[in-house]
Structure 1
Amino acid sequence: MADASIGTPAQLRDPNYTPPMHKAIPLGIQHVLSMFVSNVTPAIIVAGAAGFGFGSNSPDFPELLYLIQMSMLFAGVATLLQTVTLGRVGAALPIVQGTSFAFLPIMIPLVAGKGVDGLAALYGGIVVGGLFHACLGLVIGRIRFALPPLVTGLVVTLIGLALVQVGIQYAAGGVPAKAAGAAEYGSALNWSAAGVVILVTLALKFFARGMLAVSAVLLGLLAGYAYAMAVGILTPEAVAGSWNNAAAFALPDPFRYGIDFTVAAILGFCLMAFVSAVETVGDVSGITKGGAGREATDREIEGATYADGLGTALAGVFGGLPNTSFSQNVGLIAMTGVMSRHVVTCGAIFLIICGLVPKVGGVIRTVPIEVLGGGVIVMFGMVVAAGVSMLADVDWNRRNMVIFAVSLSLGLGLQLEPEAVQYLPETARVLLTSGLLPAAFLAIVLNLLLPRTLADEAPTPTAKPRGLPLETPRH
């Protein structure tokens, strides 16, 4: 519910209204807190997949800090593009941008086990994919028909399903511990740290209100962090080492890891841009509907898509990861009733400041992998739930069930059994084993080509329908 002291009802529904700064700044930081963990987690996962060492004495320690730093910095830059705008770039709405989970199933195979050397191709794909994403702003209104809830819901569900394994591995002790055959992998101590995070997060989500509920995952991680310190998983010396080994201030370094343009990376990022663009359209519509009680304009949707893509391309140049609009902040706007884009601008500036201070990344890096695992189990589960929620809008006739079944089986099957295509060229193997791209492609093609109903779904008056009738889902 909106606070009347912030402004009149008409002012609160106006994106151009600026609340008093002593109110605007805390409201902006609240937006940052609600997305902070989700924003930096993909960088940690990509670093882990690449094989970076997580210890403060590891030679990869500066690189891990840099990835975290760029995640914060360019989330802030991309958010500024949305709120302040740059010509036609930006929606002039309170849209919070952040690092996207959707691209992880594409990024992980590209960098797996390759260390820093695997990042050049990753960033080539991010830059080209971001520019392609920006170009979608020219046609976004005309391609939405090809991505109905059946397709987008399937893809979002598969994103979550592809990542839940990562959450379990982290909670058990991390992939390096598993690969080394460490005795503590899967121990009760490791799982207890993850369990504390999950329990505190659920308790706050269900029994708290306001900011406590909004920041439930962040507070759950803080509780898990304190527990890890108490039981010895994390030591004060490790925290001090990370803090002391991180610089107080650092500027982004363009093309720090080089850039390489490979077919697999470019195709993967360009195809996923379609899904990210449609997600942004949904978020823009949710903001205008929940905050101002109106539909989004074509200008707002196009500007948001331009900012999405340009923000991603800029991030790729400096070592950041793909950006997209964050859905959790859409709900926060509906909850607070404050539609001001300048509030989110305050949050963007806070993110940029954090991104220029590597010591912030140094503290984040000290979060034990088991504690992070508890948080991502919740977050990735929510991704699956979001996909299922989107699928609730589908008319579940037998035609759509067949499309969903075939696409899901192929996509999830290739994720689970990548060796099934081991003899294909590397480009095709990377794209297919992501699971997302073959599933999305198949669902789009089948949805466009197959007739609206199956032959046996339209019985004649004299014939009885074959098979058991399908019960209509209740909403």
Structure 2
Amino acid sequence: MADTSLGTAEQLRDPNYTPAIYKAIPLGIQHVLAMFVSNVTPAIIVAGAAGFGFGSNSPDFPELLYLIQMSMLFAGIATLLQTITIGPVGAALPIVQGTSFAFIPIMIPLVAGKGVDGLAALFGGIILGGIFHTILGTFIGKIRFALPPLVTGLVVTMIGLALVKVGIEYAAGGVPAKARNLPEYGSMLNWSAAFVVIFVTLGLKFFARGMLAVSAVLIGIIVGYIYTLFTGMLTFEAISGSWNNAAAFALPQPLKYGFEFSAAAVIGFCLMAFVSAVETVGDVSGITKGGAGREATDKEITGATYADGLGSALAGFFGGFPNTSFSQNVGLIAMTGVMSRHVVTFGALFLIFCGLVPKVGALIRTIPIEVLGGGVIVMFGMVVAAGISMLSDVNWNRRNMVIFAVAISFGLGLQLEVMNVAPGSANALQNLPDSMRILGASGILPAALIAIVLNLILPEELADEATEEVSGGMAGHGRGSLANDDHV
């Protein structure tokens, strides 16, 4: 329920209304707290996949800090594009932008084990993919038919399934510890830090209200951080070393890692742009319905998609990752009842400030990997749950079951087979060109393409036929329903 002390009911539904500054600033920072961990986590994951050292004395330490810094800075800039707008760019709505988990399975194969050398192709793909994403804004409404809940739900579920392994590896001690066969990998001490984060997060989510519930993951990580200090997993010397080695202020550097054209990177980011664009359409609709009780206009949807793409391209030019609208902030607007875009503008300015101060990134870097693992186990699990929730809107007739079965068999099968083989060992895609192999390794793009193509070419007549031969008798049920459920 909306807090009427912030303004009248009519004012709270108006995106152009600004509550009193002393109330608007905390509300804006609340939006940042809701997305902060999710926004910086991809930078840490990609850095880990590239093989960056996480210690403050590591030669890669400045690069890791820079990636974290750019994640915050360009999330803030992309958010300003949405709230303040530039011409047709931006929805003029309280949309919070941030680095999307959806792109992680595309980014990891591009940089795996390559260190800084793998970043030129990565950011080249982000820039060109962002430009393509911007172009999508001109006809986003016309391509939605190709991405029904069957396709988008499958893709989101596959994204979550591709990431859950990362959470477990982090909670056990991190990929470097695993690769070096360190005895402490998977120790009870490591797991205890992750479980502290999980238990605190779940406790706050289910038994707290307001700010505590909204910031449950962030608070869980803070409690886990303190726990590692008490147990000796983290020392004050390590914190001070990281803090002292980081600058107090730094500006972004254009093309810091160069620009390299990689067909795999460009194709991957362009294809994922479709999914991101449709997600943004859903978020814009959720904001206008939850905050103002109306449908989103075509201008708002187009402007939001333009901001997605331009924000991503701009981020890639300076070493940042693709940006998209953050769904958790949509729920926050519905909860607070405050539709003001200027509230989110204050949050964006706070993000920009954090992005210009590398010492903030240095503190984030000191979070033990096991603590971060506890947080991402929850977050990545929620990605899977969100995908399953989207699939509950599907009418599970024979046609849709066949599409889902074939797509997930290929996608998940490739993901498990290719991503889990030892380096140098044979894998199912080894005879394909490098670009095709990288695109297929995540499993997400093959699954998405198969689902899209089958959904477009399979005749609708199949929907009316019996499904016993493929479903074991559980046929003909309503959307997302069980055998004896008559609800549609």
**Fold-level match, TM-score > 0.5?**
yes
The CA distance in 2 between the partners of 1:136 and 1:469, in whole Å, is 39
Aligned residue for 1:266? 266
Counterpart residue type for residue 442 of structure 1: I
Asked if 1:428 is matched to 2:436, the reply is: yes
Residue of structure 2 in register with 1:441 after alignment: 449
1:468 is matched with 473
- Once residues 268 and 68 of structure 2 are traced to their aligned partners in structure 1, the CA distance between those partners, rounded to angstroms, is 23
Distance 1:314 1:45 in 2: 21
2:102 counterpart SS class? coil
Whether contact under 8 Å (2:40, 2:71) holds in the other structure is yes
Report if the CA contact (8 A) 2:400-2:463 is conserved: no
CA distance in 2, matches of 1:296, 1:76: 23
Residue in structure 2 matched with residue 28 of structure 1 by the alignment: 28
Question: 1:453, CA displacement in angstroms?
Answer: 3.2
TM-score by length of 2: 0.95
* CA shift digits 1:301-324 (9 cap, x unpaired): 000000000000000000000000
Indicate whether 1:42 and 2:42 are aligned.
yes
List aligned pairs for 1:10-25, cutoff 5 A.
10-25=10-25
Q: Secondary structure at the match of 2:282?
A: helix
Q: Distance in 2 between matches of 1:87 and 1:77?
A: 15
Would the alpha carbon gap of residues 455 and 148 (structure 1) be closer, same or farther in structure 2, given more than 3 Å must change?
A: closer
CA apart distance, 1:420? 0.8
Q: Which amino acid aligns with 2:449?
A: F
The gaps in structure 1 that reach 5 residues or longer are 460-464
Is 1:311 matched up with 2:316? no
Aligned to 1:57, the other structure's residue is in SS state: coil
Question: Is the 2:70–2:315 contact (alpha carbons within 8 Å) kept by the matching residues of 1?
Answer: yes
Determine the C-alpha separation between the residues in 1 that align with 2:317 and 2:402: 42
Is the contact made by 2:399 and 2:463 (CA closer than 8 Å) also made in structure 1? Answer: no
Q: Secondary structure at the match of 1:328?
A: helix
Q: Give the 5 Å matches for 1:376-395.
A: 376-395=376-395
Could you tell me the percent identity over the aligned residues? 79
User: 2 CA distance for matches of 1:149 and 1:139?
Assistant: 19
| Structure 1 SS opposite 2:4 | coil
Evaluate the alpha carbon distance shift between residue 466 and residue 163 of structure 1 in structure 2; reply closer, same or farther with a 3 A threshold: closer
- Alpha-carbon distance in structure 1 between the residues aligned to 2:182 and 2:354: 35
Contact kept in structure 1, 2:397 and 2:463, CA below 8 Å: no
Instruction: Give yes or no for contact 1:134–1:308 (8 Å, CA) kept in 2.
Output: yes
Distance in 1 between residues matched to 2:471 and 2:245, nearest whole Å:
70
Cα displacement (A) at 1:456? 7.5
Query: CA 1:226/1:452 → structure 2, altered by over 3 Å: closer, same or farther?
Result: same
Q: How does 1:8-157 map to 2 (within 5 A)?
A: 8-157=8-157
Q: 1:289, CA displacement in angstroms?
A: 0.2
Q: Which residue of 1 aligns with 2:459?
A: 451
Counterpart-to-counterpart distance in 2, 1:468 and 1:420: 34
Deviations 1:129-159 (A, max 9, x none): 0000000001101000000000000000000
**3-state DSSP of counterpart to 1:98:** strand
1:340 match: 340
Give the letter aligned to residue 426 of structure 1.
D
Could you report, residue by residue, the CA deviation over 1:302-358 in whole angstroms, capped at 9, with x for unpaired residues?
A: 000000000000000000000000000000000000000000000000000000000
Describe the shift of the 1:336–1:420 C-alpha distance in structure 2 as closer, same or farther (beyond 3 A).
Answer: same
Letter in 2 for 1:322: P
Following TM superposition, by how much is the alpha carbon of 1:198 offset from its aligned partner in structure 2, in angstroms?
0.2
In the TM superposition, residue 3 of structure 1 has moved relative to its aligned partner by 1.3
Residue 423 of structure 1 deviates from its aligned partner by: 1.3
Q: Which residue of 1 aligns with 2:422?
A: none
Judged with a 3 Å threshold, the aligned counterparts in structure 2 of structure 1 residues 294 and 466 are, in CA distance, closer, same or farther, namely: closer
Relative to the length of structure 1, the TM-score reads: 0.98
Counterpart secondary structure, 1:324: strand
Q: Structure 2: how far apart are the matches of 1:415 and 1:468?
A: 30
Counterpart CA distance in 2 for 1:30 and 1:445 is 41
Aligned to 2:461, what secondary structure does the other structure show?
A: coil
> Partner residue of 1:353?
353
Q: Is the 8 A contact 1:77 1:348 kept in 2?
A: yes
1:467, CA displacement in angstroms?
7.1
Q: Partner amino acid for 2:155?
A: V
* Residue of structure 1 equivalent to 2:180: 180
Contact 1:15 1:339 in 2 (8 A): yes
> Does the 8 A contact of 1:15 with 1:92 survive in 2?
yes
In the TM superposition, what is the alpha-carbon distance from 1:85 to its structure 2 partner?
A: 0.1
Q: Give the distance between the partners of 1:395 and 1:455, measured in 2 at CA.
A: 9
Matched-pair contact (CA < 8 Å) for 1:174–1:370: yes
Shift of residue 300, structure 1, vs aligned partner: 0.2
Matched-pair contact (CA < 8 Å) for 2:398–2:466: no
The aligned amino acid for 1:104 is I
Q: Deviations over 1:362-392 (max 9, x none)?
A: 0000000000000000000000000001001
Q: 1:299 to 1:63 in 2, by over 3 A?
A: same
**RMSD, aligned α-carbons:** 1.3
Q: How far does the alpha carbon of each residue in 1:255-300 deviate from its partner, in whole angstroms, 9 at most, with x for none?
A: 0111101100000000000000000000000000000000000000
SS of 1:420's partner is coil
Q: Is the 8 A contact 1:250 1:357 kept in 2?
A: yes
* Distance in 2 separating the partners of 1:229 and 1:115: 30
Q: Which one-letter code corresponds to 1:438 in the other structure? A: P
- Contact 1:256 1:318 survives alignment (8 Å): yes
**Is this contact kept in 2: 1:164–1:380, CA < 8 A?**
yes
- State the AA in 1 paired with 2:209: R
Q: Which amino acid aligns with 1:437?
A: L
> Partner residue of 2:293?
293
Q: Residue in 2 aligned with 1:462? A: none
CA distance in 1, matches of 2:54, 2:474: 55
CA–CA separation in structure 1 for the residues paired with 2:249 and 2:84 = 25
Question: Are 1:456 and 1:466, in contact at CA under 8 Å, matched by a contact in 2?
Answer: no
How far 1:2 moved relative to its partner? 1.4
One-letter code of the match for 2:409? Answer: S
Aligned length: 470
2:424 corresponds to: none
Cα deviation, 1:422-460, whole Å, max 9, x if unaligned, reads: 11111110011121111000000000000113287079x
Q: After superposition, what is the alpha-carbon deviation per residue over 1:387-411, rounded to whole angstroms, capped at 9, x for unaligned?
A: 0010011001111011001100100
